[in-house]
Amino acid sequence: MIFLKHQFFTLLFLSVISFQGYTQSENEDNLKVGWSTADITPDMPVLVAGQFHARLSEGVMDPVTATILALESGEGTNSEKTIWISCDLVGISDGMRATANLRDEIRNRVIKAIPSILPEQIIVNATHTHAAPYVASTASVEDIYGVSLEQMADGKPAMSPSDYIPFAADKIAEGVISAWGKRKPGGMSLGLGHAVVGLNRLQALKHGKSRMYGNTNSPEFSHIEGYEDHSLNLMYFWDINKQLTGIIINIASPSQVSEHSYELSADFWHDTKVALRKSLGDSVYVLAQASSAGDQSPHVMVGSKAEERMQKLLGFAEEGTGRGSNAHRKYIAKQIVDEVTDLFPVMKANIDWQPEFKHEMKLVPLSRRLLSEEDVAEATKEAKTWQAEYDKLKAEVRDNPAMIETPRWYKDITISYSKLRRGLVVSERYELEKVQPKMPIEVHVVRIGDAVFATNPFELYLDYGMQMKAQSPAIQTFIVQLTGSGSYLPTKRSIEGGAYGAVPASTLMGPKGGDELVEETLSIINTMW
């Protein structure tokens, strides 16, 4: 069976090669491609998402954007359509974890303007920058962080998440309308490169437990807990004159170098886009996707001194070097850009003008993580500790109101409130699992030529992505995580290791749900081959 499958690939590949002599002309079966970007940078301070503590933005390092790719094959109402939106955000609220739903806010606006597009044809993914506006909840900031926005901003103007979400949705929907309107016949080419960007951030220690981050220069360090995937899955799009219009870049790493920034930033994707446009043209669009990377980060776990020296020698020292630095972002961008530009001539010579194009969305019910009474007891105990800390800090603010004039005074109190909330959700999830043991999630599978894109809303641990890639019949499988509001989906070994990301408070699903996700995703992919 495997042999037959692979012979099929050979024939498929040879048929793709035969297209080299094909002269592109406008044809209803041709792929139509439209691009746009939307600047979703707010014009006043907002909450920055991604840490336990609140951060009220203190400026803009670089713009946060949404990149929109509109694809259509065929004509009329039966044409196959996909609107892909990549956002410089930490996650895409989808109603899974809270009432906020940026995804549907965008969809509603788009289908109102373009009725031929169905909601399930719109995919929104986050790059997971930790320096972008908070979109996870529409609740009051006091409910989210235990401190009001007015207090944090000390009376100055600031935009709440409930105001930012429609602001962003408006801008993104306008971008979709623009991309849809600009779609023109085009082709695509599929490429695979490699770049060492995503690094496993879980450190297994000799006593059997794991931790996220920490100093590996320690006798207690045993090994890196899991795998890394340095594939750079690429899809280049071309107009009929063989001019590059844009690229999808899929990499198994979240963009969180500048994760502690109080300035808004798209992180290393900003530097990558700037460098790519310098090499390939100002008009080139870059649509960034994070592959399964729940246990990955761009932070160097081993050998950071050597990497820092290389950054200095490359002339990036003025940007600051090492962890969290702009030099590190530029170094990552360089690696990605070098690979993309290296493949450029080969990709230009191998354009597929009529790729197979299919898009299916399925609501897949996944088993919630089965929690124990011990899990609840432990989390509740922690919540009580944080409640006491929060009450104490709250009283300090009440007794000393002048303290709010100190910059970032709210850091500790918002940490205590976030951790208090984090402890309480374990109990809520324990009760919910009893009555709703399964939770439906959206899985999109999009086939374009010999490649397939498979989405999930999680911070998906890498092993699950590897399973999907290894068993997929596609030549290249682009796993796209965070097409929803996230939550870690850890492996069995990570749960045994017990690091942040695998503990009950960090997860909605466990390994059972992960296995189901792999199985269901593969079954949809297989229907397309």
Partner 1 sequence: MEKQTHINFRVSKIKKNLFLAISFFTVFAALQLLPNSVFAQDLYVGAATVDITPKLPVAVDGQMTVRIAEVAETPLTANVIVLESKGENTTVLVSCDMVTIPTELKEMIQNQVKESLPALDTKKIIINATHTHTGGVVRDNRYNIPEGVTQVKDYLKFVSDRVAKTIVTTYNQREPGSVSWGISHAKVAYNRRAVYEDGTAKMYGGTHEANFIKVEGFEDQAIQSLFFWNQKGDFVATCINVPSPAQIVENRSTVNADYWHPVREGLKEKYGQQLVVAGWIGAAGDQTPRPRYDEFAEWRMIALRNENKSPDFAEHSGEVNFRNEYHLNEIAGRIIRAVDETYETVKIDKHEAPVIKHEVNNIELPMRVVTETEYNHALKMRAEDMKDAESAQIFSRRIVWYSKVVDRYEIQKSNPQPMYPVELHALRIGDVVICTNPFELFTEYGIQMKARSNAMQTFVLQLVGPGNYLPTKEAVRGGHYSAIVESNEVGPEGGQILVNWSVAMINKLWPE
User: Could you tell me the sign of the dihedral formed by the alpha carbons of 294, 51, 305, 310, in that order?
Assistant: positive
Q: What is the DSSP string of 69-84?
A: EEEEESSGGGSEEEEE
Verify binding: residue 388, partner 1, rule CB under 8 A: no
Beta carbon nearer to partner 1, 70 or 204: 204
Nearer to partner 1, 124 or 332 (CB): 332
Radius of gyration of the chain (CA): 23
The binder of partner 1 chosen from 88, 295, 375, 463 (CB under 8 A):
463
Of residues 348 through 367, those in contact with partner 1 by CB under 8 A are 349-350
Could you give the string, one character per residue 282-301, with x where binding to partner 1 holds by CB under 8 A and - elsewhere? -------------------x
**Which residue is associated with the tokens 């290791």?**
497
Does the footprint of partner 1 cover residue 467 (CB under 8 A)? yes
Instruction: State yes or no: residue 303 binds partner 1 (CB under 8 A).
Output: yes
Do 500 and 266 contact (CB within 8 A), yes or no? no
Q: Is residue 370 a contact point for partner 1 (CB under 8 A)?
A: no
Residue 136 tokens read as 């996870």
**Binding to partner 1 by residue 226, rule CB under 8 A?**
yes
Q: Which is nearer to partner 1, 343 or 426 (CB)?
A: 343
Segment lying near partner 1 (by CB under 8 A), choices 34-42, 48-56, 279-287, 310-318: 310-318
| The token pair that represents 169 in the structure block | 């949705």
Among 149, 202, 224, 525, binds partner 1 (CB under 8 A): 224
Residue 495's nearest CA partner among 310, 331, 354, 371 is 371
Q: Is 421 in the site for partner 1 (CB under 8 A)?
A: no
Note whether 310 binds partner 1 by CB under 8 A: yes
**Which residue, 285 or 478, is less far from partner 1 as judged by CB?**
478
Is the CB of 436 or the CB of 523 nearer to partner 1?
523
Residue of 102, 106, 60 lying closest to 266 (CA atoms): 60
Establish if 278 lies at the interface with partner 1 (CB under 8 A): no
Residue 472 φ then ψ, to 5° = -70, 140
Among the listed residues 79, 108, 178, 216, the single contact to partner 1 using CB under 8 A:
216
- CB nearer to partner 1: pick between 172 and 275: 275
Q: Min. distance of Cβ 209 from partner 1 in angstroms?
A: 15
Q: Please tell me the distance from the alpha carbon of residue 509 to that of residue 97, in angstroms, as a whole number.
A: 12
Query: Segment 143-202, which members bind partner 1 (CB under 8 A)?
Result: 191-196, 200
With binding defined as CB under 8 A, does residue 469 bind partner 1? yes
The neighbouring-strand residues paired with 159 are: 46
CB neighbour class for 412 (10 Å; exposed up to 12, middle 13-18, buried from 19): middle
Q: Taking CB under 8 A as the rule, does residue 341 contact partner 1?
A: no
- Enter the tokens of residue 141: 């900031």
Per-residue binding letters, 239-258, with partner 1 (x by CB under 8 A): --------------------
293 phi, psi to nearest 5 deg: -155, 30
DSSP category for residue 498: T
Cβ neighbourhood burial of 106 (10 Å; 0-12, 13-18, 19+)? buried
At 94, is the secondary structure helix, strand, or coil? coil
Per the rule left: phi > 0, alpha: psi between -120 and 50, beta: everything else, 526 is alpha
Question: Using CB under 8 A as the criterion, which residues of the chain lie in contact with partner 1 when the complex forms?
Answer: 2-7, 9-10, 13, 17, 191-196, 200, 216-219, 221-224, 226-228, 230-231, 301-303, 305-307, 309-310, 313-314, 335, 338, 342-343, 346, 349-350, 450, 463, 466-467, 469-471, 475-476, 491, 493
